[in-house]
Structure 1
């Protein structure tokens, strides 16, 4: 791996890490601590994440593989740490601890919830667009597989999310096996790459048909 390639990957990685930062941190300067603000900040963060995913899709295979290794490792670390916070708090999506609808009033728990939510959606975006590459990683990294299944199952219970987010989580749940695939399941985000041509021996040259010359009239025995 060249130095230039490593620096390029590190630069893009830092941009994605910026997009992975909790959107609730931006609400500290605002007096409004409502569900509406939470959702508006979440939607803004999702737009940034989707642009980051588009950047991943533009990479060639070698760069994309190296980048996916880095980003999935970081997401795994973030979600495993904040899973501990959420489970120890007793927070249950759809029930809450409550002053504010489904959102916990404790800012530390709310921060963990936002990080698990946005990173779950980011990883779902990647899984649905690059399922083959991601299933390879799930096969060799069971902790990544388990934490994604836990996180997606956890945030799916948040009824305050919009329809498009619920659809994303539902499709990913089917793709990674949390729930059975619907008979009509279709992944609309999957990138279908054209099959690469194999370099084989050239086919044998085709033989040109021989032209048959017309024969003239034959002499009879009496003429000889």
Structure 2
């Protein structure tokens, strides 16, 4: 995919563009994360001033989310897919944490009127859109999300807060996005699972990734248990 195609998604969030840029860099044999970050852009939220208008915009942006996830699923090299997910999810959590802090500092309520302040609108949009993208990833790559984030209390707390915030805005009410948040909340154990809960997106590719994730976690555990090695060189006096 040529890099110019990334910008065809004018309504994409910062993370969606980040995903596309990283995918392109991987495909051309480059993993320069800083270059990817330079391509980040904000969502087209400037002209939106009501919840109803934002809901319409969100439907358009969700199409970009689906394309981003589709590209992540298209990787046939499981190792590269793992590396890509690692980069994307870390950046995603960073943006959610930043946006959460901005909303809390402003005292914004998810049940209040749509914000007039442009910066606050952007923070609001980042929480909602990236919560939905995180939910998509949690459902399609559950083994990765569990093994990488289950023990990261701060990250879990941020994402759980953002999920609940998104639900309380009711902007996804009556849409497939509401179901995505609900299923992902169960998958990630943010809420109690229903007795008949099943993840409808687990497939053979996810099973392969699950094995790789397990291997990577074992390597990290072994490295941690061994600790740093002492240099065999002798210091000359």
Q: TM-score, normalised by structure 1?
A: 0.71
Task: Determine which of 74, 78, 101 is the counterpart of 1:58.
Answer: 74
2:187 alignment partner in structure 1: 175
Q: Could you report, residue by residue, the CA deviation over 1:45-91 in whole angstroms, capped at 9, with x for unpaired residues?
A: 11011111011111121011100110011111111111111111111
Give 2:178's match in structure 1, choosing from 166, 176, 179.
166
Q: What aligned pairs does 1:128-167 form with structure 2 within 5 A after superposition?
A: 128-163=139-174, 164-167=176-179
Aligned partners of 2:140 and 2:206 also within 8 Å: no
SS at structure 1 position matched to 2:69: helix
* Structure 1 stretch displaced more, 51-60 or 182-191: 182-191
CA 1:7–1:141 in 2, change beyond 3 Å: closer, same or farther? farther
Select the structure that is richer in helix. 2
Q: Please, what TM-score do these two structures have when normalized by structure 2?
A: 0.67
Structure 1 residues 194 and 88: alpha-carbon distance in aligned structure 2, compared to 1, 3 A threshold: closer
In structure 2, the gaps of 5 or more residues are 1-24, 209-237
Distance 1:55 1:156 in 2: 27
Q: 1:22-61 residue pairs with structure 2 within 5 A?
A: 22-23=42-43, 26-28=44-46, 30=47, 33-59=49-75, 60-61=77-78
1:184 maps to which of 196, 200, 216: 196
SS in 2 for 1:188: coil
Distance between the aligned counterparts of 1:152 and 1:68, measured in 2? 20
- Matched ranges for 1:43-122 at <5 A: 43-59=59-75, 60-94=77-111, 96=112, 98=113, 103-122=114-133
Gaps in structure 1 of 5+ consecutive residues: 197-224
Displacement of 1:109: 1.4
Q: Give 1:139 shift.
A: 3.3
**CA gap 1:41/1:10 in 2 versus in 1, 3 angstroms:** farther
CA 174–73 in structure 1, closer or farther in 2 if over 3 Å, else same: same
Q: What is the RMSD computed on CA atoms of the aligned residues?
A: 2.7
Task: Give, in whole Å, the separation in 2 of the partners of 1:165 and 1:75.
Answer: 18
